Amino acid sequence: MSIEKKIKDLAVAVKAAARTLAAASTREKDLALRAMAANLRKRRDFLQDKNRLDLDKALENGLSPAMIDRLTLSDQVIEGMAAGLEEVAAFPDPVGEIVRMWRRPNQLQIGKMRIPLGVVGMIYESRPNVTADAAGLCLKSGNGVILRGGSEAFHSNMAVLEVLHEALETTAIPASVVQVVPFTERQAINYLLACEDEIDLIIPRGGEGLIRFVVEHSRIPVIKHYKGVCHVYVDNGADPEMAKNIVLNAKTHRPGVCNAAETVLVHQEMAAGFLPELVDALKDGGVEIRGCARTCAQVPGLIPAAESDWETEYLDLIIAVKVVDDLDAAIAHIVEYGSDHTETIVTRDYQRAQDFLRRINSSVVMVNASTRFSDGGQMGLGAEIGISTTKLHAYGPMGLEGLTTTKYIVYGNGQIRE
């Protein structure tokens, strides 16, 4: 049988299992999640044996230490996967929730009820823990899921799947609700993206190249984000201490992630008093600074920023700094160079805070808080399956609710249209 046919059959099987899952009770789903967690802990040795196959190959291929770190199923990572599933079991079930209900003049009672999307296709790179995390979120939200991890994590992903299937076989949930594409060929992604009758949503996670490839080849709707060029705007009259803390936290708390800040915009009246202090603090934090002409004039010895710096996601201890005339100029800069991810203003002014929140339409807009809070867990959404910078369906951190849709329900007593 061809790879194409095998992937299609897998998708058909997941879709059928997802129908059963959609009708499962919250209790059945939570029991399944806890069984999956328990089995991950129990089968730790098996997982690490299989993981070793991937690690050996990675060493052979000379992968970077950072890549190897992301690939490793350490005791801690396995415990994290198990604990993550138990956390998801403890979240409220989004399925069946009545979002709103209203009554029409003809007495029809109309409401919106949350239902699963159906089947989610997840395409990602390296980290094998994503396999368990995504399986848990999809199961809780009533969705089947087909996972396609990176070829470098192939044995690890298949092992995680085997352990999850063992657990599911002891529960009311059919094991087929979770599947991994058992092919490492790039072409397998194309076949997956062609299963438009079986898969309702594709979520790619990884580098920009992978995401663009998926968008280009998919007939299935894709929820994606390309990059996070997040801004901190330090307004005229902002508390300098608060501004400094927020910029430092946004840049240095974890520079390699998408909600880290990449550009600081500073109001011109803050340039003389605040900028030198900010630069010192950033340098103390090991951050390289690339300044606009006005910034460099204020603080001598900085690297001048090139035009390309304003649209770069450094994912590193580098930050671009620009002096702007006012709030309007800050907003114009963010609209021109931003990536619709997360922006924050540091201000004491009520009206400018409100204007910033209202006029910027990035997926997360903040006042006086670090961009690092732009995260499903931090924002109270439970866990997070991804962050979307496309506006359709989900925009911003996407948790369990983002994996559902709503149908209309109508209670009548014999109404017909006149």
Query: Using the rule CB under 8 A, which residue among 161, 396, 399, 400 binds its own copies?
Result: 396
Query: Using the rule CB under 8 A, which residue among 201, 258, 334, 385 binds its own copies?
Result: 201
Tell me the per-residue interface mask from 74 to 113 with its own copies, x by CB under 8 A, - otherwise. ----------------------x-----x-x---x-x--x
Query: Using the rule CB under 8 A, which residue among 33, 35, 40, 117 binds its own copies?
Result: 117
- What 8-state DSSP symbol labels residue 147? E
Q: Is residue 184 a contact partner of residue 154, using CB atoms and an 8 Å limit?
A: yes
To its own copies, the closest distance from the beta carbon of 204 in angstroms equals: 14
To its own copies, the closest distance from the beta carbon of 378 in angstroms equals: 7
To its own copies, the closest distance from the beta carbon of 134 in angstroms equals: 18
Q: Which two tokens stand for residue 260?
A: 């880290």
Q: Is residue 120 a contact partner of residue 195, using CB atoms and an 8 Å limit?
A: no
Q: Which residue has the tokens 């806890």?
A: 34
Query: Using the rule CB under 8 A, which residue among 2, 60, 308, 358 binds its own copies?
Result: 358
Query: Using the rule CB under 8 A, which residue among 126, 176, 298, 374 binds its own copies?
Result: 374
Please return the burial class of 358, using the count of CB atoms within 10 Å of its CB with bins 0-12, 13-18 and 19+.
Answer: exposed
Is residue 350 at the binding interface for its own copies, with CB under 8 A as the rule?
no
Is residue 335 at the binding interface for its own copies, with CB under 8 A as the rule?
yes
Q: Which two tokens stand for residue 27?
A: 């209790």
Q: What is the DSSP string of 63-127?
A: --HHHHHHH---HHHHHHHHHHHHHHHHSPP-TT-EEEEEE-TT--EEEEEEEE-SEEEEEE-S-
Residues that contact its own copies, how many (by CB under 8 A): 69
Q: Which two tokens stand for residue 92?
A: 């409220």
Is residue 366 at the binding interface for its own copies, with CB under 8 A as the rule?
yes
Distance (Å, rounded) from C-alpha 349 to C-alpha 403? 37
Applying CB under 8 A, the residues found at the interface with its own copies are: 19, 22-23, 96, 102, 104, 108, 110, 113, 115-118, 200-201, 215-216, 219, 221, 239, 242, 245-246, 248-250, 253, 335, 344, 353, 357-359, 361-370, 372-374, 378-380, 390-393, 395-397, 405-417
